[in-house]
Amino acid sequence: MNQQTANEPEQDERVRYVAAFLSAAWGGVNAMFTQPRCRIKSFGVDGEAAVHATTVGRHRGRQWRFRRQIWPPAHPAMLAAQLYTTSLEERLNTGRLGAGDGDVVDL
């Protein structure tokens, strides 16, 4: 068995996990931004061995970026999505953005 064949089950598992995470997290992230002063610019994942989910947006006049590793998984995809959205919401609502000067704030 070659290395590519050995890695295929893990790659398939990663793809299924990321798809489940994205679907669940998008619902939570999208629901947070229903007010005109809140806007999502982008939401997605990147990476191979380590996969990260990143959301970029504007809230209360500040641009921010929220990035967390989702693979390899520490939790099932649905729980990871809930933790991701809850953590993002907590950071946005606890005043961590501060006064704006045009810089992107990493949450």
List the chain domain ranges: 3-106
Which alpha helices (DSSP H) does the chain contain, by range? 3-32, 77-93
Q: What is the pLDDT of residues 11-48, one digit of tens each?
A: 999 999 999 999 999 988 888 877 666 788 999 999 98
- Residue 29, phi-psi category: left (phi > 0), alpha (psi -120 to 50), beta (remainder): alpha
Q: How far apart are CA 67 and CA 10, in angstroms?
A: 23
43-67 per-position pLDDT tens digit: 999 998 999 999 999 887 888 999 9
pTM of the model: 0.84
Give the pairing type, strands 105-106 and 38-46: unpaired
User: Which residues make Cβ contacts (< 8 Å) with residue 38, sequence separation at least 6?
Assistant: 32, 57, 58, 59, 60
